[in-house]
Amino acid sequence: MILKNDAGSAIVESLAAITALLVFIVGIWIGVYLIFARAWMQYQSEQALYCLSESKPALICRRALQKKLVTGLPFGRLGRMRLSSAAKGKHQNWNVEVEWKIRTFTLSVRKELGTRRLLQSRALHW
Amino acid sequence: MKRKSLAQAHCVQQASVLQMELKDTLDKLLRLNPKSKSLRAQRDMADKALQRAVASANPYAMAAAKAYWMAVVVQQLALRSKQQALLARADQQRHYGHRQLRDRLRSLGVSKVASRKYYWRALAVEASPPASLTPNYEPLPVFSYMQQHRFRFEVDLRPKFASVLRGMDLRQTTECSVSLKGEHRKWELQIVAANAPSKRSWF
């Protein structure tokens, strides 16, 4: 069979191009979102550590962290979250572990702050 | 965000190092208290002995009492100079700590660095009795609060490459404060404030 014109072929080709473009844009967007989500988690975990270090109750710091993550990250849901304080002799340690789940993909951040680390010029940085 | 986080980390770290240095000076100052107490007791005895000797009008007793009195006062002056040197050293440590933090923050584009002290001395101690040549230096009743040193500064949250945000005011005030707390003179670091007081609710 011979086509009378190339209109159908152009539609098929442009559909394929649009699909490829959409996939590319969505891929880029997902990548940017994941990078932002990780940075946001790092930053908010750090703020939660500072909150713990101020001797505030862990529940308050936990709620604040949860609120910031849920507000700042529109896609995904909160997974495991653990905040803890421990005294090692004269020194105090604070830990935060947090997971953010986007479908089957999980982003996790673990951070630690301690008075010993602070005094050895190894404060938090990321 | 990263700049603010780094500035916060520098602030807490520098304030902690400063308090640890002050802690050593404080320990040294408090260790002088038993000696200053004993010298005050000796001075009381020397004063009374001198009064008795003067009343007796015995030149030998007066000379002996005067010599003892002088020996005690010389010891007191020596101890006083040690105490004053430690207090001056603490002031220098505080001044140096502030300058170091200012230098460290300058590279991060931080502005309006200010520090607030809660007590006129770098160590929150008071002389007891205040008029004595060698007083005991005792921590104030609200030592932790008075000992803290608070740093405050402004961080520009705009990324360097974001020229479109040039007109927007995205500066945020950040502060940190570290103090010492202790039971039975075992001093530990106490982070009083490390979180940024935010102008924007979502930060």
Burial of B134 (0-12, 13-18, 19+ CB in 10 A): buried
DSSP B164: G
Task: Specify the pLDDT at position B111.
Answer: 81
* A6-36: pLDDT as tens digits: 667 788 888 899 999 999 999 999 999 999 9
| Minimum CA–CA partner of A94 in chain B | B191
Amino acid code (one letter) for B148: Q
Q: Taking CB atoms and an 8 Å cutoff, what residues of chain A touch B2?
A: 39, 43, 126
Task: Specify the pLDDT at position B158.
Answer: 72
Number of other residues whose CB lies within 10 A of the CB of residue A34? 16
DSSP for A51-78, written as a single string: HHHTT--HHHHHHHHHHHHHHH--SSEE
Closest CA to A41 of A123, A103, A108: A108
Give the pLDDT band (50/70/90) at residue A3.
Answer: low
Q: CA A118 to CA B190: how far, in whole Å?
A: 12
Cross-chain residue pair B16–A119, CB shorter than 8 Å = yes
Q: CA A38 to CA B57: how far, in whole Å?
A: 88
For residue A1, give both structure tokens.
Answer: 């069979």
Closest CA to B24 of B150, B193, B140, B189: B189
Q: For chain B, which ranges sit under pLDDT 50?
A: 198-203
Q: CA B111 to CA A107: how far, in whole Å?
A: 34
Q: Taking CB atoms and an 8 Å cutoff, what residues of chain B touch A120?
A: none
Q: Taking CB atoms and an 8 Å cutoff, what residues of chain B touch A126?
A: 2, 5
Residues 6 or more apart from B154 whose CB is under 8 A from it? B110, B111, B112, B171, B172, B173, B174
Q: CA B139 to CA B30: how far, in whole Å?
A: 9
Q: What is the pTM of this model?
A: 0.80
Q: A26 vs chain B: nearest CA distance in angstroms?
A: 24
Give the distance between the most distant pair of CA atoms in chain A: 87
pLDDT-above-70 percentage for chain A: 90
* Region A55-84 average pLDDT: 91
* Region A49-78 average pLDDT: 91
